[in-house]
Amino acid sequence: MHQNEDETFVILTGTCKFWLEGEEFTAGVGESVFIPRGKEHTFKVTNDGPCRHLLILTPGGFESFFADMAAGQFRIPEDMPAIEESATRHNMAFTGPRWTDHMSQKHIVYHIPVCPFSQRLEILLALRDLTDAVEFRVVDITKPRDPDLLAKTRGTTALPVLETSDGCILKESLVILRYLDEVLPGASCVGAIRSNTPLSRC
Ligand SMILES: N[C@@H](CCC(=O)N[C@@H](CS)C(=O)NCC(=O)O)C(=O)O
């Protein structure tokens, strides 16, 4: 949180997810986000590509914080002491938990329940006895797609889509299937299915 500056993000490429005083939202290309001074906030680049954004801070002066970060090539969490030292000089305080703690710890699958491509993910989870490990969010295909979801998928409408717990987007049910099978706790199923190994070994 910075006490003295209002901050405006203008997204030039990619997508960013924002957390502002408990509210989460996503902004894509051409959108802008206003963060008033003195408000707790954080943001995170989503998708697999970079996000370039124009940042306008008023009044001026805070830009030397970013110069410090670039000069030191600092990273969170490794370089927190150096980052906090510069932040303090710029009247900025790190007030809350890290971004991942704000977010759902579950992966999210956006899906259409009757879609066989989505159902293969449900079958995997059932076989792995991990039905609750992933949050399924139904997309109502009788309505125009949610712009937030379209920004995340960069315009792709086909479902299912997986949003990982750290905000990455995966498309294509077989890619998602293999990813979930790898990252979820317990023994993999996909290899067993592909090699005709009895499923009881899953
Ligand atoms: N190859 C894709 C196919 C997905 C697909 O065709 N999903 C259909 C529903 S079963 C869909 O979302 N259609 C609407 C659209 O493409 O906009 C996959 O395996 O995920």
73 and 127, same domain (yes or no): no
- Give the pLDDT confidence score for residue 160 in this predicted structure: 97
150 and 197, same domain (yes or no): yes
56 and 125, same domain (yes or no): no
124 and 174, same domain (yes or no): yes
CA end-to-end distance (rounded Å), the chain: 47
Cα 144 to ligand 1 centroid, rounded to whole Å = 16
Our count of domains for the chain comes to 2
Domain end among 99, 123, 142:
99
Check which CATH number belongs to the domain holding 193 and give it. 3.40.30.10
- Tell which one of 159, 169, 173 to mutate to probe ligand 1, the residue whose CB is within 8 A of the most ligand atoms: 159
Cα-based distances in Å from 186 to 5, 118, 192 = 48, 21, 13
- Give the pLDDT confidence score for residue 104 in this predicted structure: 53
How far apart are the C-alpha atoms of 29 and 21, rounded to whole Å? 23
66 and 144, same domain (yes or no): no
Cα 164 to ligand 1 centroid, rounded to whole Å = 19
Q: Angle at CA 97, nearest 5°, toward 150 and 61?
A: 85
DSSP annotation of 145: P
Nearest CA to ligand 1 atom 12: 158
**Domain region containing 85:** 6-99
Cut 0.95: pTM above it: no
**Does residue 190 have its Cβ closer than 6 Å to ligand 1?**
no
- Which ligand 1 atom lies nearest to the CA of residue 160? 20
CB 57 within 8 A of CB 7: yes
CA 74 to chain centre: 21
78 and 112, same domain (yes or no): no
Domain end among 99, 124, 149:
99
**Does residue 173 have its Cβ closer than 6 Å to ligand 1?**
yes
Q: Is residue 145 part of a domain?
A: yes
How far apart are the C-alpha atoms of 114 and 109, rounded to whole Å? 14
- Give the pLDDT confidence score for residue 168 in this predicted structure: 87
Copy the structure tokens of residue 66.
């970013």
Cα 188 to ligand 1 centroid, rounded to whole Å = 25
**Does residue 145 have its Cβ closer than 6 Å to ligand 1?**
no
Cα 160 to ligand 1 centroid, rounded to whole Å = 7
68 and 22, same domain (yes or no): yes
Check which CATH number belongs to the domain holding 41 and give it. 2.60.120.10
73 and 155, same domain (yes or no): no
**Does residue 159 have its Cβ closer than 6 Å to ligand 1?**
yes
Select from 57, 54, 27, 56 the least CA-distant residue to 43. 27
12 and 82, same domain (yes or no): yes
In 73-105, which residue ranges form alpha helices assigned H by DSSP?
80-89, 99-102
- Give the pLDDT confidence score for residue 41 in this predicted structure: 93
Q: Is residue 1 part of a domain?
A: no
184 and 140, same domain (yes or no): yes
CB 153 within 8 A of CB 99: no
Per-residue pLDDT of the chain (202 residues; tens, 9 = 90+): 999 999 999 999 999 989 898 888 889 999 999 999 999 999 988 866 788 999 999 999 999 999 999 999 998 778 889 999 999 999 999 887 776 644 556 899 999 999 999 999 999 999 999 998 899 999 998 999 899 899 999 999 999 999 988 788 999 999 999 999 988 888 787 766 555 544 433 3
- Give the pLDDT confidence score for residue 70 in this predicted structure: 95
List beta partners, residue 19: 24, 42
- Give the pLDDT confidence score for residue 193 in this predicted structure: 59
